[in-house]
Amino acid sequence: MPSLPVVSLTSAPAKDVDVLVVGLAQTAGTEVLVGLPDESATALAKAFGRPPADVVRDLGGSAKNADTVLLPGLAGQRLIVVGLGDIDVSPEQVRRAAGAALRAASALKAERPLTLALSLDAIEPQVIKGAVEGALLGSYRYRETTGKPGVASIQVVTTHARKPEARHALDLGVATATAVSRARTWVNTPANDLYPESFADEIVKAAKAAKLSVDVWDEKALEKEGFGGLLAVGGGSSRKPRLVRVGYAPRGAKFHLALVGKGITFDTGGLNLKPADGMYTMKSDMSGAASVIAAVTAIAEAGVKLKVTAFAALAENMPSGTAYRPSDVLTLYGGTSVENGNSDAEGRLVLADALVKATEDRPDLVIDVATLTGACVVALGERVAGLMARDDETADLVLDAAEAAGELFWQLPVPEEARGKLDSKVADLRSTADRWGGALTAAAFLSEFVPESISWAHLDIAGPAFNPHEPYHYVPSGGTGMSVRTLVALAHAIAG
Ligand code: BES
Ligand code: MN
Ligand code: ZN
């Protein structure tokens, strides 16, 4: 895995850093530089022959959040001025600014890896954490394809560098960003390298490194126990399906969170073959599985006091002579029969198997994460994920965690009428309905596999899990790691 820069806290930037990042913020109708040390400001004013803020303005610098401009600094140093937005900064404003600044720095011409100081007046622990996460996430690269050496070390400048709260914020930021990066790399790995068996191997490695328990069901074990969803969906591929469980059970935990991730390592649509345009990005259809596994490793690393069990439901959805057909009736794990309405609605089938398995242990809350429906992308666009739950208390718990983590979720309903559309003449349930409200129908389907007595939330990350466009803020092209931060924040919130 490509390595992230090393991050530290400092009360003043080292004089010899290669790149100094400062902010430009909006306040009372004017723009002010934030974080530029007094002596640097004086020296720059002398060198430029006028106030640095004027030079920034002439070069097109703006206080708009995450706009960046490059200036020559002192003594061969380079200065990046990044827009913070309103001076009353939120953690997310700083996260975005830090991400944009690090992307700009990583693209600089250089002979060797760069050292960088990020000076944005971060004081509050949440803002420090935002700066750390933004900087690391903005530094992320899947492969060293740019030919640029990039940034090797980041000093986050804060007057609170020695405070325990600040150090804690640094550690949490590093653990979270590391988990997001791990999820991104799994998503970015092409499906000829990352398939159910190899992904399961990777998960086992990651779990063992984090001292977590791990169990893998191979195709024989899946058959023996009757995981009819995974077997049907994975049946068309020569790469056989897997179910992986990763467990974290610290002493004294009072709450059990179960996480279930959709892990379709490639979704061709099966016999309901996707058109070429829609298929190209489908190596990302395992993003939910990547998120839940990355999240449990970060939660364990931080020693959060709650029990977490994460399931990755892994299969490759391929058309072939052994593929499952539209109208096939499958018996899922636990015995529910399902009529397959469309072989491209594969995610809900593998999730149903895993949800039934996950709820056998009676967790207090189960959350599934999935790139489940194109309909959710139509409803909410490419940057906002859908959140569905059976009760608003659970929805609010997740929405609050998402807000704290700086991820965009919007609640969609699971209306009663949606379940009615899933009646089948030949099975307990049909997997698909008409084209209206597809995200809600999918949620209604999943809901059938979680007992009413267990709280449940469903995150449809089909839009934001993968960015097929240019990078922005701290979001790269390709896998984004969407939902990892929310899950980690949620675990912290629950454990208190
Ligand atoms: N993996 C797709 C959903 C998806 C679409 C994710 C676009 C990311 C971007 C999923 O398996 C799928 O194909 N869903 C179908 C369901 C339909 C057949 C009921 C869809 O959304 O069209
Ligand atoms: Mn599909
Ligand atoms: Zn899919």
> What is the chain's pLDDT, residue by residue, as a tens digit (496 residues)?
568 999 999 999 988 999 999 999 999 989 999 999 998 899 999 999 999 989 999 999 999 999 999 998 888 899 999 999 999 999 999 999 999 999 999 999 999 999 999 999 999 999 999 999 999 999 999 986 567 789 999 999 999 999 999 999 999 999 999 999 999 999 999 999 999 999 999 999 999 999 999 999 999 999 999 999 999 999 999 999 999 999 999 999 999 999 999 999 999 999 999 999 999 999 999 999 999 999 999 999 999 999 999 999 999 999 999 999 999 999 999 999 999 999 999 999 999 999 999 999 999 999 999 999 999 999 999 999 999 999 999 999 999 999 999 999 999 999 999 999 999 999 999 999 999 999 999 999 999 999 999 999 999 999 999 999 999 999 999 999 999 999 999 999 999 9
Q: Which of 163, 274, 305, 390 is catalytic?
A: 274
Q: Is the CB of 346 under 6 A from ligand 1?
A: yes
Q: Is the CB of 126 under 6 A from ligand 1?
A: no
What is residue 204's predicted lDDT score, i.e. its pLDDT?
98
What is residue 119's predicted lDDT score, i.e. its pLDDT?
98
Residue 174 lies in a domain: no
How far, in Å, CA of 343 to CA of 270, rounded?
5
Ligand minimally distant from the alpha carbon of residue 439: 1
Q: Is the CB of 279 under 6 A from ligand 1?
A: no
Instruction: Give me the number of domains the chain comprises.
Output: 2
| Neighbouring residues of the ion ligand 2, judged by CB less than 5 Å | 267, 344, 346
**Which residue's CA is the closest to the ligand 1 atom numbered 5?**
374
What is residue 1's predicted lDDT score, i.e. its pLDDT?
53
Q: Do residues 388 and 419 share a domain? A: yes
Kindly give the distance from the C-alpha atom of residue 481 to the centroid of ligand 3, in angstroms, as a whole number. Answer: 17
Residue 314's DSSP bridge partners are 242, 263
What is residue 72's predicted lDDT score, i.e. its pLDDT?
84
Q: Which of 239, 348, 430, 485 is catalytic?
A: 348
Q: Do residues 16 and 57 share a domain? A: yes
Residue 14 lies in a domain: yes
Q: Is the CB of 462 under 6 A from ligand 1?
A: yes
- Atom number, ligand 1, closest to the C-alpha of residue 441: 19
What is residue 239's predicted lDDT score, i.e. its pLDDT?
98
Kindly give the distance from the C-alpha atom of residue 269 to the centroid of ligand 3, in angstroms, as a whole number. Answer: 7
- Atom number, ligand 1, closest to the C-alpha of residue 435: 19
Q: Do residues 381 and 491 share a domain? A: yes
Q: Do residues 266 and 303 share a domain? A: yes
Q: Do residues 113 and 147 share a domain? A: yes
What is residue 432's predicted lDDT score, i.e. its pLDDT?
98
Kindly give the distance from the C-alpha atom of residue 348 to the centroid of ligand 2, in angstroms, as a whole number. Answer: 9
What is residue 103's predicted lDDT score, i.e. its pLDDT?
97
- Atom number, ligand 1, closest to the C-alpha of residue 278: 7
Q: Do residues 150 and 246 share a domain? A: no
Ligand minimally distant from the alpha carbon of residue 281: 1
Q: Do residues 337 and 402 share a domain? A: yes
Q: Which of 162, 195, 214 is the last residue of a domain?
A: 162
Q: Do residues 119 and 204 share a domain? A: no
Q: Is the CB of 342 under 6 A from ligand 1?
A: yes
Looking up residue 448, the CATH number of its domain turns out to be 3.40.630.10
Q: Do residues 228 and 105 share a domain? A: no
SS3 letters across the chain: CCCCCEEEEECCCCCCCCEEEEEEEEECCEEEEECCCHHHHHHHHHHHCCCHHHHHHHCCCCCCCCCEEEEECCCCCEEEEEEEEECCCCHHHHHHHHHHHHHHHHCCCCCCCEEEEEECCCCCHHHHHHHHHHHHHHHCCCCCCCCCCCEEEEEEECCCCCCHHHHHHHHHHHHHHHHHHHHHHHHHCCCCCCCHHHHHHHHHHHHHHCCCEEEEECHHHHHHHCCHHHHHHHCCCCCCCEEEEEEECCCCCCCEEEEEEEEEEEECCCCCCCCHHHHCCHHHHHHHHHHHHHHHHHHHHCCCCCEEEEEEEEEEECCCCCCCCCCCEEECCCCCEEECCCCCCCHHHHHHHHHHHHHCCCCCEEEEEECCCHHHHHHHCCCCEEEEECCHHHHHHHHHHHHHHCCCEEECCCCHHHHHCCCCCCCCEECCCCCCCHHHHHHHHHHCCCCCCCEEEEEECCCCCEECCCCECCECCEECCCCHHHHHHHHHHHHC
Residue 203 lies in a domain: yes
Kindly give the distance from the C-alpha atom of residue 344 to the centroid of ligand 2, in angstroms, as a whole number. Answer: 4
Q: Do residues 141 and 221 share a domain? A: no
Residue 167 lies in a domain: no
Residue 9's DSSP bridge partners are 156
How far, in Å, CA of 161 to CA of 17, rounded?
18
Residue 97 lies in a domain: yes
Q: Do residues 153 and 212 share a domain? A: no
Q: Do residues 82 and 115 share a domain? A: yes
What is residue 64's predicted lDDT score, i.e. its pLDDT?
95
Q: Which of 131, 162, 193 is the last residue of a domain?
A: 162
Assess whether 348 carries a catalytic annotation: yes
What is residue 149's predicted lDDT score, i.e. its pLDDT?
83
Residue 172 lies in a domain: no
What is residue 74's predicted lDDT score, i.e. its pLDDT?
81
Pairing relation of β-strands 151-157 and 19-27? unpaired
Instruction: Note down the domain range covering 19.
Output: 6-162
Residue 229 lies in a domain: yes
Token duo for residue 389: 């739950």
Assess whether 262 carries a catalytic annotation: no
- Atom number, ligand 1, closest to the C-alpha of residue 274: 13
Residue 175 lies in a domain: no
Taking the C-alpha atoms of 269, 275, 280 and 282 in order, what is their torsion angle to the nearest 10 degrees? -20
Kindly give the distance from the C-alpha atom of residue 267 to the centroid of ligand 3, in angstroms, as a whole number. Answer: 5
Pairing relation of β-strands 78-86 and 68-72? antiparallel
Kindly give the distance from the C-alpha atom of residue 285 to the centroid of ligand 3, in angstroms, as a whole number. Answer: 5
Question: Ligand 1: which of 273, 287, 342, 372 to mutate, judged by most atoms within 8 Å of the beta carbon?
Answer: 372
Looking up residue 122, the CATH number of its domain turns out to be 3.40.220.10
Cα within 13 Å of Cα(96), Cβ side? 17
Q: Which of 130, 162, 194 is the last residue of a domain?
A: 162
What is residue 360's predicted lDDT score, i.e. its pLDDT?
98
Q: Which amino acid is at 239?
A: R
Burial 106-126 (b: 16+ CB within 10 A, else e): bebebeeebbbbbbbbbebbb
Residue 180: alpha-carbon gap to chain centroid: 5
What is residue 457's predicted lDDT score, i.e. its pLDDT?
98
10 Å Cβ neighbour count for 58? Answer: 11
What is residue 3's predicted lDDT score, i.e. its pLDDT?
83
